[in-house]
A and B are shown apart, each in its own frame.
Chain A
């Protein structure tokens, strides 16, 4: 079974631009969660999608958005990039459902650098 894939793996953008990151979950997984990891703040939850609906959201500004398609693939978008958005963006997939009792499988991450 193929693992979680993320594209692109590395990205360099300029302040003010926007960026779209993609995540393909493990086949059969319906939940996709996105996380941001920085040296200062560590891992932080961005949002979770389940069956094309945003089910949970972290404390990030509206510049961060996402969506999930009918095949469970997910994208996240960051508009008007700031230097502080430089981070490793990870997605994780799980079977989902309710109860928070599902193991999450992480992708390799997209390293975004904003200059």
Chain B
């Protein structure tokens, strides 16, 4: 069974440029998460989808970040314009159900962004 697929794995851009990350979750997983991991920190939730609905986007900086999950499968996370402080690893994860009790998360390999 294919795992969570993310692309690109690495991206280097100049500040003020746009960037987009793509995630394909495990088939049948209705919940999809985007996490941000800064160097030396633990992953922090940016947005959680249940099917196509964003049920928790309270941590998403909406002035420059946007996300979508059309048809409740693939998801795209966009940053426009990127700032130096956005350099981080962007992790996508999926689960069957929510992580509230026993639903382990299945992660992709992450997209490492460097903003120059």
Q: Tell whether A pairs with B.
A: no
Interface residues of A (CB under 8 A from B): none
